[in-house]
Chains A and B, each alone.
Chain A
Amino acid sequence: MKKYTRSFVLGGVGGFLIAVFLLAQEIELPFDTKIEWLVGGSVAVAAAVFGIAFVRLQRLKKAVATKGMQVEEDERDRWIAIQSSHIADWLMGGLITSLFTFGVSAMYYEWTPTWLIFGLGAYFLFQLVYIRVAMKQLLLLSHPDIDIPEDLNVLPLMDEGEKFVMYEGMMKAYQVMSQLLLLSIILTIMYGAWTNTTQLFPILLMSFIYLIGHGAYQKTYRHLQY
């Protein structure tokens, strides 16, 4: 079995087990409504994505530590940079998925405190903390010779080539995310009009997130200018 397929299966199995455990506390199986399926599926996906990111990070650390790669140093550095980028993508995907899962379950249960909502909220907070720890580990793997600042802001330490690559990636990611967010706002407005329900809170929340994201992008863009 290919190693990535193995990590994906491992993450999927782990996610399924966690989802069954959490949901068995609150929802009688089999799931009765589509929303329950959505919540259950979201929990499984969130846990699976985290599992994949965690397993891949451990494998990368092991590969670097054992120096098992019989390749040239340049190819080794390039491989580490690519793997780190993939793992960072999975970590962000896990964070977004956990937030989505928390939001859907909270709205479904109308913000009534339940173990499921508390558990998913705690899981999201755990992701926030873990992503910071994991990003520092990734930075240490890809840049073993520099002192990583406590705030993980390595922009001042980058040279122009690294800033160029980050800028290119950031431009593409920002454009995709902002378009998705705007599309979500439009769909939410249309949904509100179609169902004659007030969608003010989600629209305001998404608009706030869009503005925060735009501000963060501008701030980073100014740092990357050279």
Chain B
Amino acid sequence: MRNRVKELRARHDWNQTELAKRAGMSRQTISLIERNEYMPSILIAMKLARVFEEPVESIFMFDEEELR
């Protein structure tokens, strides 16, 4: 799975701490997601989608092989 969290965060000119506060989660969780070391739950994904004002599927993208 890939995600655009870091890209969207940079677009809004937020650091991880600021994004974490806006999304209601820890900076550590943001860092794990950006480094693809952790697959977030639906709740976390929805929170990030709301903060970035983008659909969840445009932020978190699966490869075709993973969806089979």
Q: Give me the interface of A with B, judged by CB distance under 8 Å.
A: 72-74, 77-78, 81, 158-162, 164-165, 226
The B interface, classified by DSSP as helix, strand, loop or mixed, is helix
B58 within 8 A of A: no
> Is B27's CB under 8 angstroms from A160's CB?
no
12 A-B residue pairings within 8 Å (CB atoms): A72-B15, A73-B17, A74-B16, A81-B28, A159-B44, A160-B29, A160-B41, A161-B25, A161-B30, A161-B44, A165-B28, A165-B32
Please tell me if the beta carbons of B28 and A73 are within 8 angstroms of each other in the complex. no
**B29 lies within 8 A of A161 (CB):** yes
Q: Is the CB of B15 within 8 A of A161?
A: no
Is B3 at the interface (CB under 8 A from chain A)? no
- Secondary structure dominating the interface of A: helix
Chain A residues with CB under 8 Å of B38's CB are 161, 164
Known A77-B27, A159-B29, A226-B41; further 7 A-B contacts with Cβ < 8 A: A74-B17, A74-B31, A77-B17, A159-B44, A161-B32, A161-B40, A165-B28
Most chain A CB atoms below 10 A, which of B29, B40, B41: B29
With A78-B31, A81-B28, A165-B32 as known contacts, state yes or no: A160 contacts B17, CB within 8 Å.
no
CB-based closest 3 A-B pairs: A161-B29, A74-B16, A159-B25
- A77: nearest residue on chain B (CB-CB)? B27
Partner pick for B33 among A78, A161, A226, CB 8 A cutoff: A161
Chain B interface size, as a band, is: 10 to 19
Residues of B within 8 A of A (CB): 15-17, 25-33, 38, 40-41, 44
For residue B24, which residue of chain A has the nearest CB? A159
In the complex, chain B residues whose CB is within 8 Å of the CB of A161: 25-26, 28-33, 38, 40, 44
- With A78-B31, A164-B32, A164-B38 known as contacts, the answer to whether A158 contacts B26 (CB < 8 A) is yes
A81 cross-chain contacts in B, Cβ below 8 A: 28
Alpha-carbon gap, A164 to B38, bound state (A): 8
Chain B residues within 8 Å of A160, by CB = 29, 40-41, 44
Considering residues A72, A77, A78, A158, which has the most beta carbons from chain B within 10 angstroms of its beta carbon?
A77
| Cα–Cα distance between A165 and B29 once the two chains are bound (Å) | 9
B20 CB, nearest partner CB in chain A, Å: 9
